[in-house]
Amino acid sequence: SIDQSIKQAIKQSSNQAIKQSSNQASKPIMSFLTKSLRPLAMRSSLATAARAGLSAAAHQKRWLRIGDTAPDFTAKSSQGEISFHKWIGDSWAVLFSHPADHTPVCTTELAAVEKLQPEWEKRNVKVIGLSVDDVDSHDSWIEDIKDTQGCANVSFPIIADADRTVSEAYEMLDQTNINAEGLPLTVRSVFVIGPDKQVKLMITYPASTGRNFDEILRVIDSLQLTAYHKVATPANWTSGDDCVVVPAVSTEEAKKMFPKGVEEVRPYLRITPDPRD
Distance CA 204, CA 187 (A): 7
First to last CA, the chain: 67
201 backbone dihedrals φ, ψ, rounded to 5°: -155, 140
Distance CA 197, CA 107 (A): 28
List C-alpha distances in Å: 205 to 57, 177, 212: 26, 13, 10
Q: How many residues would you count in the chain? A: 277
Do residues 244 and 236 lie in contact, with contact meaning Cβ atoms separated by under 8 Å? Answer: no
Do residues 74 and 83 lie in contact, with contact meaning Cβ atoms separated by under 8 Å? Answer: yes
Active site residue 106: yes
User: Which listed residue (93, 95, 106, 160) is catalytic?
Assistant: 106
Strand partners, 269: 266
Do residues 65 and 98 lie in contact, with contact meaning Cβ atoms separated by under 8 Å? Answer: no
Distance CA 159, CA 49 (A): 23
SS3 257: helix
Strand partners, 271: 244, 263
Question: How many of the other CB atoms lie within 10 Å of CB of 13?
Answer: 16
Which residue numbers are catalytic?
106
